[in-house]
């Protein structure tokens, strides 16, 4: 198992109020292992929707406000050993 290090990078505010929480992950582990680490350590083993799952849930009436407010997560590869884990939270005003 590869060593995985993480560092909280901060919170940013996007147009229309969406907030993005960002962590930097440094490891040479494969993407699946990085996702599992992020779900376990950052999201406390709670189910995290991907952007596609979250947008699909908005179609029709299949998503309630509680699911909408949880937002979605993205894992972005920055380099061979660096990733950004982003938690996107929608504006609820």
Q: 22-53: per-residue pLDDT in tens?
A: 999 999 999 999 999 999 999 998 888 888 88
Q: Among 56, 74, 57, which residue's Cα sits nearest to residue 66?
A: 57
The total domain count for the chain is 1
pTM: 0.85
Give the DSSP H or E segment for 67.
Answer: helix 65-70
Domain range for 19 is: 5-89
Q: 48-93: per-residue pLDDT in tens?
A: 888 888 888 777 666 778 888 888 999 999 999 999 999 999 888 7
Q: What are the distances in angstroms from CA 45 to CA 17, 22, 40, 92?
A: 27, 18, 4, 24
Q: Three-state DSSP class for 48?
A: coil
């Amino acid at each position: 198992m590869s060593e995985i290090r993480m560092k909280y990078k901060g919170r940013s505010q996007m147009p229309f109020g969406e907030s993005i929480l960002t962590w930097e992950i440094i490891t040479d582990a494969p993407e699946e292992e990085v996702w599992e680490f992020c779900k376990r350590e950052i999201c406390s083993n709670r189910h995290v929707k991907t952007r596609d799952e979250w947008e699909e849930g908005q179609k029709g009436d299949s998503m309630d406000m509680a699911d909408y407010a949880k937002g979605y997560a993205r894992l972005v590869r920055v380099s061979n050993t660096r990733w950004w884990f982003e938690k996107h939270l929608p504006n609820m005003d």
